[in-house]
Amino acid sequence: MIKKTVIVLSFIIFSLSAFTQDLIYLKDNTTIQAEVKQATLEFIKYVKYNDMDDAEYTIAANTVLKIVFSNGYTREYATEITAKPVEKSEKDNYFALAAGLGRSYGGIGIRAQGRFGKKQGFGLHAGVGYNPSDAGGVCFGVGAKFFYYRWLYINAQVGIVSHEEIYNYDIYFGESYTSDPVFGFSLLTGGDFIFGKHAGLNVAFGPTITGDGVKIGVDLGFVLKF
């Protein structure tokens, strides 16, 4: 009778001990009998079951399949931890229209531009407008841009930058004035500073070379990005 009682008590104690421990199942098919102290999506801290030293261990969560807690709750790590999405290379292609004044706008005018590439890219643009200075007249500029970081660029362009008034005198017809276009090459640096998704400001400056020498060119405009 005493022997049977001892066997029954031993079985009960063993059963209770089995239900008071947590089981950590790893991806390498091993199982750790433990008392889990903390379980997050990054790591699990635990004490080995029946470890008299109560030494605390930490393992990475991505090595764990699941944890079966002593209360019967099971946490499946294989379904909770997902791979980080692969970041796609961000493209920054767009078409833009702008209104303003400066070399790219042909004086006071409009400009169309296309940008292609990623954080670094290139663009093509053309603008036409009216230049009220000097002899006045219609001017234009066409060029290519190198975007070294998103909206910041170096712009090389050619076009008519102004008109020169020429005085003429003829003994039969008297005095007269004519206007000749002045062509120039500009090298500007600046940016299309886009605020939000569609609107921004264009600011740039740099030298313009003409037959009369070197002058400073400026661009200042309002940009709509599509």
Considering the domain architecture, whether residues 71 and 107 belong to the same structural domain is answered as: no
* Residue 124, helix vs strand vs coil: strand
Pick the last residue of a domain from 26, 58, 80.
80
Considering the domain architecture, whether residues 142 and 209 belong to the same structural domain is answered as: yes
User: Is 217 inside a domain boundary?
Assistant: yes
The predicted-structure confidence for 14-28, as pLDDT tens digits, reads as follows 444 444 688 999 999
- Ramachandran bin of 106, using left for φ above 0, alpha for ψ from -120 to 50, beta for the remaining angles: left
Q: How many domains does the chain have?
A: 2
Considering the domain architecture, whether residues 192 and 125 belong to the same structural domain is answered as: yes
103's CB contacts (< 8 A; 6+ apart) are: 141, 157, 159, 161, 184, 186, 188, 208, 217, 218, 219
Considering the domain architecture, whether residues 106 and 10 belong to the same structural domain is answered as: no
The predicted-structure confidence for 167-191, as pLDDT tens digits, reads as follows 777 777 777 777 788 999 999 999 9
The predicted-structure confidence for 62-118, as pLDDT tens digits, reads as follows 999 999 988 888 998 876 555 455 444 445 788 999 999 999 999 999 999 999 988
Structural domain including 51 reads 2-80
Considering the domain architecture, whether residues 76 and 119 belong to the same structural domain is answered as: no
In the predicted structure, residue 201 carries a pLDDT above the cut 60: yes
Considering the domain architecture, whether residues 49 and 109 belong to the same structural domain is answered as: no
Considering the domain architecture, whether residues 59 and 167 belong to the same structural domain is answered as: no
